[in-house]
Amino acid sequence: MNSHEIDYRIYGEEMQYVEIELDPNEGVIAEAGSFMMMDDGIKMETIFGDGSQKDQGFLGKVFGAGKRLLTGESLFMTAFYNVLHGKRNVSFASPYPGKIVPIDLMEYRGKFICQKDAFLCAAKGVSVGVEFSKRLGRGLFGGEGFIMQKLEGDGMAFVHAGGTLARKVLQPGETLRVDTGCIVGFTQDVDYDIEFVGGIKNTIFGGEGLFFATLKGPGVVYIQSLPFSRLAGRVLASLPRGGKDKGEGSILGGLGDIIGGDNRF
């Protein structure tokens, strides 16, 4: 194996975290901001990119890290190593309510494609790169743009899905239509494209956007019920405007808040 062979355990239901067990000299990489806690004896190191290429030279490392800017991520990642004898644990938390999905890259022939902000952490040696879309329509209207993340290697990786997770196994030629924001990731043989919703009423009044994502088998697809963009949109829609809130749905508006005991002015 080129990647470190790590053990793990996932805790929680709606706000999960994953605990990674590291043997001596084993390591794990993670996105900045996902760290939760670690045992004594774990060394933290900031690295260019994912640190999967050891002999590519400084310019190669800069180029590899620079590609991450295209996915909206930082140039740097954080690596955690067990530098003492015995097993040590380090934990990483999900950024919002949902599920942490363990991905054994060996089961998917060494490659898994996911949306740009889904990656959480992985065994040291797993490559976190970019996957470019070769289809103009998918790039312009697919919700994820021209660029997604690709996880390559032979170790464990962990991605995060918002809300409830659905795992679909598609047979050859079988097609699944999905809201463009609900895709978490899929295996390399899945054909990903977009499809126009169609119909004047659907287009103007449907409220579901103009395009579906179409995922055609064979392969495995992971779907989330609550994309972060949808969650953020609902939160923003509920924020007070002009110093007044929406009365939490009451037909009395602000008067309803006063009656209900919320006497803020």
Q: Is 103 helix (H, G, I), strand (E, B) or coil?
A: strand
pTM: 0.80
Predicted confidence at residue 225, as pLDDT, reads 92
Longest alpha-carbon distance in the chain: 68
Q: Which residues pair with 151 in a beta bridge?
A: 112, 128
Predicted confidence at residue 116, as pLDDT, reads 80
H or E element at residue 158: strand 156-162
Predicted confidence at residue 260, as pLDDT, reads 47
Backbone φ, ψ for residue 141 (5° rounding): -125, 0
Angle at 197 between CA 195 and CA 200, to 5 degrees: 145
Rounded Cα distance between 130 and 65, Å, is 11
Predicted confidence at residue 265, as pLDDT, reads 45
Predicted confidence at residue 200, as pLDDT, reads 55
Predicted confidence at residue 206, as pLDDT, reads 46
| pLDDT block averages, 10 residues each, the chain of length 265 | 88 94 95 92 86 57 57 76 95 93 96 91 91 57 62 95 95 92 93 74 52 90 88 77 53 49 47
Taking alpha carbons only, the member of 150, 13, 185, 7 closest to residue 91 is 7
Residue pair 26/103 in contact (Cβ under 8 Å)? The answer is no
